[in-house]
């Protein structure tokens, strides 16, 4: 990846202190963006949110890995962000006026062996998006490698309802929640078996929530609360004959 002298100068600036009044509404925030995963985004599959194959899960190539400052230990998985390149700072490296919406599907880890202006793009306290290459190239010129951006969180638009994939083993259920619209992320989950009351679940990693109850042979109901405090109930979404590894799609969705 080639980095220009101009871009390195930008990296050395105290970017968060730049006054941007009049450029964008106050809800827009400053960050930087790089890209990874190759021209087909094949290298973005998997990731720290646990979504696995982003193509088959419906996330496609408009995705990004978030720096520590944004990732929230997985709490931001599934959220959607609109980004635009700051052509007032880097006009030769921006596609002027273009905006793109990406979904948070991965984590961009810090590299403390490198300073921010030499590759430690995701070192705290930086706000940084390491975008899938096809998404990044919609707003930036390839040769730049890294660009200054502005971003804002936006509602996620999804087709169909929330999906639940049950992994784990006896006495331990690991439920991956995907295709969450609206806020895109969850702040709490609970599960109710046909023979139990509601039992709290905890975030294990990324978009995976765990329960330590023995729920085999029971129909399952999930109760989920999004990060904007919408609570939805998915009654008997999982039938009593469920098996580990199965995915269950609902007709219920966040707004």
Q: What is the pLDDT of residues 137-189, one digit of tens each?
A: 999 999 999 999 999 999 999 999 999 999 999 889 999 999 999 999 999 99
d(CA 124, CA 110): 7
Tell me the pairing of strands 172-178 and 208-211: antiparallel
Please compute the mean of the pLDDT values over residues 23-52 and round it to a whole number: 89
Q: Give the rounded percent of residues in the chain with a pLDDT score beyond 90.
A: 85
Instruction: Count the Cβ atoms, other than its own, within 10 Å of residue 161.
Output: 19
- Residue ranges and CATH numbers for the domains of the chain are 29-154 (2.40.40.10), 162-250 (2.60.40.760)
Whether the per-residue pLDDT at 254 is higher than 60: the answer is: yes
Position 119 scores a pLDDT of 83
Residues 93-131 as b or e (16 or more Cβ within 10 Å = b): bbbeeeebbbbbbbbbebeeeeebbebbbbbeebbbbbb
Which single residue is written with the structure tokens 């190239």?
137
Position 48 scores a pLDDT of 98
For residue 8, give the DSSP letter.
H
What pLDDT band is residue 117 in, cutting at 50, 70 and 90?
Answer: confident
Q: Kindly report the CA angle at 42 between 41 and 46, in degrees rounded to 5?
A: 105
Whether the per-residue pLDDT at 9 is higher than 50: the answer is: no
Whether the per-residue pLDDT at 121 is higher than 70: the answer is: yes
């Amino acid at each position: 990846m080639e980095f220009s002298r101009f871009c390195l100068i930008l990296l050395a600036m105290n970017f968060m202190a730049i006054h941007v009044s009049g450029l964008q509404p106050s809800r827009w925030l400053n960050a930087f963006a790089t890209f990874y995963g190759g021209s087909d985004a094949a290298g973005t599959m998997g990731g720290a949110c646990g979504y696995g194959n982003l193509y088959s899960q419906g996330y496609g190539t408009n995705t990004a890995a978030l720096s520590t400052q944004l990732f929230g230990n997985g709490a931001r998985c599934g959220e959607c962000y609109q980004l635009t390149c700051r052509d007032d700072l880097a006009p030769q490296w921006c596609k002027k006026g273009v905006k793109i919406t990406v979904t948070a599907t991965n984590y961009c880890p810090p590299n403390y062996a490198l300073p921010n202006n030499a590759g430690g793009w995701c070192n705290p306290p930086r706000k940084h998006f390491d975008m899938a290459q096809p998404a990044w190239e919609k707003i930036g010129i390839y040769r730049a490698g890294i660009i200054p951006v502005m971003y804002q969180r936006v509602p996620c638009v999804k087709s169909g309802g929330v999906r639940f994939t049950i992994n784990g083993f006896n006495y331990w259920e690991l439920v991956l929640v995907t295709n969450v619209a609206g806020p895109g992320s969850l702040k709490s989950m609970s599960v109710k078996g046909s023979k139990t009351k509601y039992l709290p679940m905890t975030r294990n990693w990324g978009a995976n929530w765990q329960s330590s109850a023995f729920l085999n042979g029971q129909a399952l109901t999930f109760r989920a609360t999004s990060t904007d405090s919408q609570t939805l109930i998915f009654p008997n979404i999982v039938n009593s004959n469920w098996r580990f590894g199965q995915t269950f799609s609902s007709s219920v969705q966040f707004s």
